[in-house]
Amino acid sequence: MAAALLAVTPAGAPPAASAAPPGRILSSVSCPRVSSCWAVGDQTASGVTRTLIEHWNGRKWSLTASPNAAGSADTFLSGVACQAELNCWAVGGATLGSIRQEPVAEHWNGRKWSLSVLPEPAGLDADSLASVWCPGATRCWAVGSAARRVPAALRPLAEHWTGRKWSVVAARASGGFTALAGVFCRQDTNCWAVGVGAAGGLAEHWNGQKWSLAPTPSAAAELLGVWCPGTDCFATGSSRFPTVIAERWNGRTWSLTPTSAPPVKIVGSLQGVSCATSTSCFAVGVQGQANPQTLIERWQRSRWVKVKSPNPAGAKLPVLRAVFCLSPKACWAVGLSINLNFTGPARTLAEYWNGRSWSIVRTP
Protein backbone atom coordinates (compact mmCIF):
# COMPACT_ATOMS: atom_id res chain seq x y z
CA MET A 1 0.00 0.00 0.00
CA ALA A 2 2.88 2.40 0.70
CA ALA A 3 4.00 2.00 -2.87
CA ALA A 4 0.52 2.73 -4.17
CA LEU A 5 0.42 5.92 -2.16
CA LEU A 6 3.78 6.94 -3.58
CA ALA A 7 2.38 6.59 -7.08
CA VAL A 8 -0.33 9.19 -6.63
CA THR A 9 1.04 11.53 -3.96
CA PRO A 10 1.18 15.04 -5.42
CA ALA A 11 4.70 16.25 -6.08
CA GLY A 12 3.86 19.51 -4.37
CA ALA A 13 3.39 17.65 -1.11
CA PRO A 14 6.06 14.95 -1.01
CA PRO A 15 5.74 12.36 1.72
CA ALA A 16 8.26 12.37 4.53
CA ALA A 17 11.52 10.99 3.20
CA SER A 18 11.46 8.23 5.80
CA ALA A 19 8.27 6.92 4.16
CA ALA A 20 10.03 6.42 0.83
CA PRO A 21 10.83 2.83 -0.13
CA PRO A 22 14.48 1.79 -0.20
CA GLY A 23 16.16 2.12 -3.57
CA ARG A 24 16.34 4.75 -6.29
CA ILE A 25 13.56 6.96 -7.72
CA LEU A 26 13.60 9.43 -10.63
CA SER A 27 11.12 12.29 -10.36
CA SER A 28 12.00 14.71 -13.18
CA VAL A 29 13.93 14.96 -16.45
CA SER A 30 15.18 17.77 -18.69
CA CYS A 31 17.19 17.67 -21.91
CA PRO A 32 19.13 20.68 -23.23
CA ARG A 33 20.20 18.52 -26.21
CA VAL A 34 19.38 15.13 -27.69
CA SER A 35 22.77 13.90 -26.48
CA SER A 36 22.49 15.46 -23.02
CA CYS A 37 19.70 14.87 -20.50
CA TRP A 38 19.52 15.14 -16.72
CA ALA A 39 17.20 13.12 -14.48
CA VAL A 40 16.89 13.77 -10.74
CA GLY A 41 15.29 12.10 -7.75
CA ASP A 42 16.44 10.41 -4.56
CA GLN A 43 17.98 7.21 -3.24
CA THR A 44 17.12 5.69 0.13
CA ALA A 45 19.14 3.14 2.12
CA SER A 46 18.96 2.24 5.82
CA GLY A 47 16.28 4.87 6.33
CA VAL A 48 18.44 7.71 4.99
CA THR A 49 17.55 9.55 1.76
CA ARG A 50 20.13 11.23 -0.47
CA THR A 51 19.86 13.16 -3.73
CA LEU A 52 20.13 11.24 -6.99
CA ILE A 53 21.23 12.71 -10.33
CA GLU A 54 21.73 10.74 -13.56
CA HIS A 55 23.02 11.96 -16.93
CA TRP A 56 22.36 10.76 -20.49
CA ASN A 57 25.31 11.32 -22.85
CA GLY A 58 23.63 10.07 -26.01
CA ARG A 59 24.64 6.46 -25.39
CA LYS A 60 23.88 5.57 -21.78
CA TRP A 61 22.65 6.83 -18.41
CA SER A 62 25.26 7.19 -15.63
CA LEU A 63 25.32 8.42 -12.04
CA THR A 64 26.65 11.90 -11.32
CA ALA A 65 27.87 13.12 -7.94
CA SER A 66 25.31 15.37 -6.23
CA PRO A 67 25.59 17.17 -2.87
CA ASN A 68 23.22 16.96 0.10
CA ALA A 69 22.23 19.55 2.66
CA ALA A 70 24.58 19.68 5.65
CA GLY A 71 23.02 18.30 8.80
CA SER A 72 20.09 16.73 6.94
CA ALA A 73 19.32 13.03 7.21
CA ASP A 74 17.08 13.22 4.15
CA THR A 75 17.68 15.35 1.05
CA PHE A 76 15.65 14.80 -2.14
CA LEU A 77 15.25 16.35 -5.59
CA SER A 78 11.82 16.65 -7.24
CA GLY A 79 12.34 18.85 -10.31
CA VAL A 80 15.02 19.79 -12.86
CA ALA A 81 15.21 22.32 -15.69
CA CYS A 82 18.04 23.12 -18.11
CA GLN A 83 18.15 26.45 -19.87
CA ALA A 84 21.36 25.40 -21.63
CA GLU A 85 23.79 22.49 -21.53
CA LEU A 86 25.97 24.28 -18.97
CA ASN A 87 23.13 25.82 -16.97
CA CYS A 88 20.71 23.51 -15.13
CA TRP A 89 18.80 23.82 -11.87
CA ALA A 90 17.35 21.03 -9.72
CA VAL A 91 15.08 21.67 -6.72
CA GLY A 92 13.74 19.71 -3.77
CA GLY A 93 13.93 19.68 0.01
CA ALA A 94 15.95 18.63 3.03
CA THR A 95 14.60 17.48 6.39
CA LEU A 96 16.05 18.74 9.64
CA GLY A 97 14.84 16.94 12.72
CA SER A 98 11.28 15.67 12.89
CA ILE A 99 9.23 18.78 12.01
CA ARG A 100 11.50 20.97 9.84
CA GLN A 101 12.09 20.85 6.11
CA GLU A 102 13.93 23.46 4.03
CA PRO A 103 13.82 24.10 0.27
CA VAL A 104 17.04 23.40 -1.63
CA ALA A 105 18.32 24.01 -5.14
CA GLU A 106 21.30 22.54 -6.97
CA HIS A 107 23.02 24.20 -9.94
CA TRP A 108 25.02 22.60 -12.77
CA ASN A 109 27.71 24.84 -14.25
CA GLY A 110 29.14 22.34 -16.70
CA ARG A 111 31.60 20.86 -14.21
CA LYS A 112 29.73 20.02 -11.02
CA TRP A 113 26.48 20.35 -9.10
CA SER A 114 26.47 22.74 -6.13
CA LEU A 115 23.73 23.01 -3.48
CA SER A 116 22.11 26.06 -1.93
CA VAL A 117 19.54 26.28 0.86
CA LEU A 118 16.82 28.66 -0.34
CA PRO A 119 14.92 31.30 1.65
CA GLU A 120 11.66 30.36 3.38
CA PRO A 121 8.47 32.31 4.05
CA ALA A 122 8.45 33.93 7.48
CA GLY A 123 7.11 31.61 10.16
CA LEU A 124 7.02 28.54 7.90
CA ASP A 125 9.71 25.98 8.66
CA ALA A 126 8.56 22.92 6.71
CA ASP A 127 9.03 23.81 3.06
CA SER A 128 10.05 22.04 -0.15
CA LEU A 129 10.08 22.64 -3.90
CA ALA A 130 8.46 20.30 -6.40
CA SER A 131 9.14 21.80 -9.83
CA VAL A 132 11.36 24.34 -11.59
CA TRP A 133 11.40 26.05 -14.98
CA CYS A 134 13.97 28.46 -16.43
CA PRO A 135 12.68 30.76 -19.21
CA GLY A 136 16.07 32.50 -19.53
CA ALA A 137 19.75 32.14 -18.71
CA THR A 138 19.34 34.19 -15.53
CA ARG A 139 15.69 33.63 -14.73
CA CYS A 140 14.00 30.64 -13.09
CA TRP A 141 10.80 29.90 -11.17
CA ALA A 142 10.42 27.10 -8.62
CA VAL A 143 7.20 26.09 -6.88
CA GLY A 144 6.19 23.78 -4.05
CA SER A 145 4.62 23.99 -0.62
CA ALA A 146 5.26 25.48 2.80
CA ALA A 147 3.97 24.72 6.28
CA ARG A 148 4.64 25.58 9.90
CA ARG A 149 5.81 22.07 10.63
CA VAL A 150 5.66 18.48 9.31
CA PRO A 151 2.87 17.47 9.05
CA ALA A 152 0.64 20.55 8.85
CA ALA A 153 -1.67 22.40 6.49
CA LEU A 154 0.22 23.37 3.34
CA ARG A 155 0.56 26.80 1.79
CA PRO A 156 1.78 27.55 -1.76
CA LEU A 157 5.48 28.34 -2.20
CA ALA A 158 6.96 30.17 -5.19
CA GLU A 159 10.59 31.26 -5.53
CA HIS A 160 12.32 33.31 -8.24
CA TRP A 161 15.95 33.29 -9.44
CA THR A 162 17.23 36.58 -10.84
CA GLY A 163 20.74 35.45 -11.76
CA ARG A 164 22.10 36.53 -8.37
CA LYS A 165 19.76 35.15 -5.73
CA TRP A 166 16.59 33.21 -5.01
CA SER A 167 13.74 35.04 -3.29
CA VAL A 168 10.26 34.09 -2.10
CA VAL A 169 7.39 35.58 -4.13
CA ALA A 170 3.88 35.56 -2.68
CA ALA A 171 1.59 32.99 -4.32
CA ARG A 172 -2.16 32.76 -3.93
CA ALA A 173 -3.64 30.22 -1.53
CA SER A 174 -6.91 28.42 -2.13
CA GLY A 175 -8.41 27.62 1.25
CA GLY A 176 -6.46 26.16 4.14
CA PHE A 177 -4.57 23.62 2.04
CA THR A 178 -2.67 24.62 -1.09
CA ALA A 179 0.34 22.96 -2.73
CA LEU A 180 1.96 23.71 -6.09
CA ALA A 181 3.31 20.75 -8.04
CA GLY A 182 4.28 21.97 -11.51
CA VAL A 183 5.41 25.17 -13.26
CA PHE A 184 6.03 26.28 -16.85
CA CYS A 185 7.06 29.69 -18.16
CA ARG A 186 6.80 31.00 -21.70
CA GLN A 187 8.89 33.93 -20.48
CA ASP A 188 9.73 35.44 -17.13
CA THR A 189 6.52 37.50 -17.21
CA ASN A 190 4.22 34.67 -18.30
CA CYS A 191 4.15 31.53 -16.13
CA TRP A 192 1.61 28.93 -15.07
CA ALA A 193 1.80 26.92 -11.85
CA VAL A 194 -0.58 24.05 -11.02
CA GLY A 195 -1.34 22.01 -7.94
CA VAL A 196 -4.14 21.35 -5.50
CA GLY A 197 -6.24 23.62 -3.29
CA ALA A 198 -9.15 23.28 -0.94
CA ALA A 199 -11.57 23.16 -3.88
CA GLY A 200 -9.54 20.73 -6.01
CA GLY A 201 -7.30 21.30 -9.01
CA LEU A 202 -5.46 24.62 -8.83
CA ALA A 203 -3.95 26.88 -11.52
CA GLU A 204 -2.11 30.16 -10.92
CA HIS A 205 -0.76 32.63 -13.48
CA TRP A 206 2.21 35.02 -13.16
CA ASN A 207 1.90 38.18 -15.26
CA GLY A 208 5.22 39.73 -14.31
CA GLN A 209 3.84 41.44 -11.22
CA LYS A 210 1.79 38.95 -9.23
CA TRP A 211 0.39 35.43 -9.09
CA SER A 212 -3.38 35.18 -9.53
CA LEU A 213 -5.76 32.24 -9.34
CA ALA A 214 -7.52 31.06 -12.49
CA PRO A 215 -10.75 29.04 -12.23
CA THR A 216 -10.44 25.36 -13.15
CA PRO A 217 -13.20 22.78 -13.64
CA SER A 218 -11.37 20.04 -11.74
CA ALA A 219 -13.16 19.97 -8.41
CA ALA A 220 -12.01 17.09 -6.21
CA ALA A 221 -8.80 16.74 -8.19
CA GLU A 222 -5.11 17.60 -8.17
CA LEU A 223 -3.03 18.92 -11.06
CA LEU A 224 0.57 17.68 -11.11
CA GLY A 225 2.12 18.81 -14.40
CA VAL A 226 1.77 21.70 -16.85
CA TRP A 227 3.21 22.57 -20.27
CA CYS A 228 2.47 25.42 -22.68
CA PRO A 229 3.50 24.70 -26.28
CA GLY A 230 2.03 28.00 -27.47
CA THR A 231 -0.72 30.29 -26.29
CA ASP A 232 -2.53 27.17 -25.10
CA CYS A 233 -1.48 25.02 -22.12
CA PHE A 234 -2.04 21.46 -20.92
CA ALA A 235 -2.29 20.35 -17.28
CA THR A 236 -2.59 16.75 -16.06
CA GLY A 237 -3.09 14.97 -12.76
CA SER A 238 -5.69 12.84 -11.03
CA SER A 239 -9.13 13.17 -9.58
CA ARG A 240 -9.72 11.97 -6.05
CA PHE A 241 -11.64 8.89 -7.18
CA PRO A 242 -8.70 8.59 -8.09
CA THR A 243 -8.41 8.41 -11.87
CA VAL A 244 -6.57 10.38 -14.54
CA ILE A 245 -7.55 13.92 -15.43
CA ALA A 246 -6.41 16.46 -18.03
CA GLU A 247 -7.24 20.10 -18.74
CA ARG A 248 -6.49 22.62 -21.50
CA TRP A 249 -6.07 26.41 -21.42
CA ASN A 250 -7.28 28.03 -24.64
CA GLY A 251 -6.05 31.52 -23.82
CA ARG A 252 -9.20 32.42 -21.89
CA THR A 253 -10.35 29.49 -19.74
CA TRP A 254 -9.35 26.07 -18.45
CA SER A 255 -11.56 23.16 -19.51
CA LEU A 256 -11.48 19.39 -19.11
CA THR A 257 -10.22 17.31 -22.03
CA PRO A 258 -11.11 13.66 -22.65
CA THR A 259 -8.58 11.01 -21.60
CA SER A 260 -8.39 7.28 -22.13
CA ALA A 261 -9.92 6.62 -18.70
CA PRO A 262 -12.88 4.24 -19.07
CA PRO A 263 -16.35 5.04 -17.70
CA VAL A 264 -15.72 2.74 -14.73
CA LYS A 265 -13.20 4.61 -12.61
CA ILE A 266 -9.78 2.96 -12.54
CA VAL A 267 -7.10 4.15 -10.13
CA GLY A 268 -4.60 6.24 -12.06
CA SER A 269 -2.66 9.47 -12.32
CA LEU A 270 -1.06 11.46 -15.14
CA GLN A 271 1.90 12.93 -13.27
CA GLY A 272 3.77 14.72 -16.06
CA VAL A 273 3.14 16.32 -19.45
CA SER A 274 5.41 17.67 -22.20
CA CYS A 275 4.91 19.00 -25.72
CA ALA A 276 7.41 19.18 -28.58
CA THR A 277 4.89 21.24 -30.58
CA SER A 278 1.31 22.36 -30.07
CA THR A 279 0.14 19.13 -31.72
CA SER A 280 2.76 16.71 -30.34
CA CYS A 281 2.28 16.13 -26.60
CA PHE A 282 2.66 13.19 -24.22
CA ALA A 283 1.34 12.73 -20.68
CA VAL A 284 2.72 9.97 -18.43
CA GLY A 285 1.81 8.28 -15.17
CA VAL A 286 0.37 5.04 -13.81
CA GLN A 287 -2.96 3.22 -14.02
CA GLY A 288 -4.45 0.17 -12.34
CA GLN A 289 -4.81 -1.06 -8.78
CA ALA A 290 -4.51 -4.85 -8.65
CA ASN A 291 -1.95 -4.83 -11.45
CA PRO A 292 -0.57 -1.29 -11.91
CA GLN A 293 1.08 -0.45 -15.23
CA THR A 294 2.84 2.54 -16.70
CA LEU A 295 0.48 4.89 -18.53
CA ILE A 296 1.35 7.06 -21.53
CA GLU A 297 -1.22 9.12 -23.41
CA ARG A 298 -0.74 11.17 -26.58
CA TRP A 299 -2.64 14.31 -27.55
CA GLN A 300 -4.70 13.69 -30.71
CA ARG A 301 -6.33 16.95 -31.83
CA SER A 302 -9.06 17.11 -29.19
CA ARG A 303 -8.45 14.21 -26.80
CA TRP A 304 -5.79 12.12 -25.08
CA VAL A 305 -5.31 8.61 -26.49
CA LYS A 306 -3.50 5.81 -24.70
CA VAL A 307 -0.39 4.46 -26.45
CA LYS A 308 1.57 1.29 -25.76
CA SER A 309 3.89 1.71 -22.80
CA PRO A 310 6.41 -0.96 -21.76
CA ASN A 311 6.81 -2.21 -18.17
CA PRO A 312 9.90 -3.76 -16.56
CA ALA A 313 9.75 -7.54 -16.29
CA GLY A 314 8.49 -8.61 -12.87
CA ALA A 315 7.63 -5.08 -11.77
CA LYS A 316 4.68 -4.83 -9.39
CA LEU A 317 4.39 -1.06 -9.45
CA PRO A 318 5.99 0.78 -12.39
CA VAL A 319 5.31 4.52 -12.35
CA LEU A 320 6.28 7.26 -14.79
CA ARG A 321 6.57 10.57 -12.96
CA ALA A 322 7.83 13.00 -15.61
CA VAL A 323 8.31 13.40 -19.36
CA PHE A 324 10.36 15.75 -21.56
CA CYS A 325 10.07 16.01 -25.34
CA LEU A 326 12.80 17.59 -27.45
CA SER A 327 10.99 16.90 -30.73
CA PRO A 328 8.09 14.80 -32.02
CA LYS A 329 10.65 11.99 -32.46
CA ALA A 330 12.58 12.30 -29.20
CA CYS A 331 11.04 12.13 -25.70
CA TRP A 332 12.20 10.78 -22.34
CA ALA A 333 9.96 9.60 -19.49
CA VAL A 334 11.34 8.69 -16.06
CA GLY A 335 10.07 7.18 -12.83
CA LEU A 336 10.46 4.03 -10.77
CA SER A 337 9.49 0.39 -10.49
CA ILE A 338 9.12 -1.97 -7.55
CA ASN A 339 9.40 -5.73 -7.92
CA LEU A 340 6.63 -8.30 -7.92
CA ASN A 341 6.56 -8.98 -4.16
CA PHE A 342 7.42 -5.48 -2.90
CA THR A 343 10.45 -7.11 -1.25
CA GLY A 344 13.24 -5.54 -3.28
CA PRO A 345 14.32 -1.92 -3.57
CA ALA A 346 12.73 0.59 -5.91
CA ARG A 347 14.60 0.93 -9.18
CA THR A 348 14.89 3.85 -11.54
CA LEU A 349 12.92 3.64 -14.78
CA ALA A 350 13.54 5.48 -18.05
CA GLU A 351 11.65 5.11 -21.33
CA TYR A 352 12.44 6.68 -24.71
CA TRP A 353 10.17 7.66 -27.62
CA ASN A 354 11.81 7.48 -31.06
CA GLY A 355 8.85 8.73 -33.05
CA ARG A 356 7.33 5.27 -33.46
CA SER A 357 7.31 3.53 -30.08
CA TRP A 358 8.35 3.73 -26.45
CA SER A 359 11.12 1.45 -25.15
CA ILE A 360 12.81 0.95 -21.77
CA VAL A 361 16.41 2.17 -21.55
CA ARG A 362 18.69 0.80 -18.86
CA THR A 363 19.51 3.12 -15.94
CA PRO A 364 21.90 2.73 -12.99
Q: What is the DSSP string of 22-59?
A: SEEEEEEEEEEETTEEEEEEEEEETTEEEEEEEEE-SS
Separation between Cα atoms, residue 237 and residue 244, nearest integer Å: 6
Mean pLDDT across the stretch 153-181? 96
More confident residue, 323 or 344: 323
Mean pLDDT across the stretch 344-349? 93
pLDDT in tens, 126-140: 999 999 999 999 999
Q: Is the peptide bond before 345 cis (omega within 30 degrees of 0)?
A: no
Whether the per-residue pLDDT at 8 is higher than 50: the answer is no
For the beta carbon of residue 286, count every other beta carbon within 10 angstroms.
Answer: 27
The answer for residues whose C-beta is within 8 angstroms of residue 343's C-beta and 6 or more apart is none
Q: Starting from the edge strand earliest in sequence, which strands make up the sheet with 268-277, in order?
A: 268-277, 280-287, 293-300, 303-307
CA neighbor of 156 nearest in space, from 137, 142, 140: 142
CA atoms within 13 A on the CB side of 106: 30
Instruction: Give residue 291's pLDDT.
Output: 86
**Maximal CA-CA distance, the chain:** 51
Mean pLDDT across the stretch 186-212? 96
Instruction: Give residue 13's pLDDT.
Output: 42
Instruction: Give residue 307's pLDDT.
Output: 97
- Average per-residue pLDDT for the chain: 92
SS3 call for 173: coil
CA neighbor of 229 nearest in space, from 326, 342, 121: 326
pLDDT in tens, 213-240: 999 997 779 999 999 999 999 999 998 7
Separation between Cα atoms, residue 339 and residue 344, nearest integer Å: 6
Mean pLDDT across the stretch 36-58? 97
Separation between Cα atoms, residue 130 and residue 143, nearest integer Å: 6
CA neighbor of 196 nearest in space, from 132, 245, 265: 245
Mean pLDDT across the stretch 243-268? 88
Provide the residue ranges of all domains of the chain, joining segments of one domain with +.
2-361
What pTM was computed for the model?
Answer: 0.95
**In CATH, what number does 2-361 get?**
2.120.10.80
Residue 329 phi/psi, 5° resolution? -115, 15
Instruction: Give residue 262's pLDDT.
Output: 67
Q: Is the peptide bond before 151 cis (omega within 30 degrees of 0)?
A: yes
Confidence of residue 340 (pLDDT cuts 50, 70, 90): low
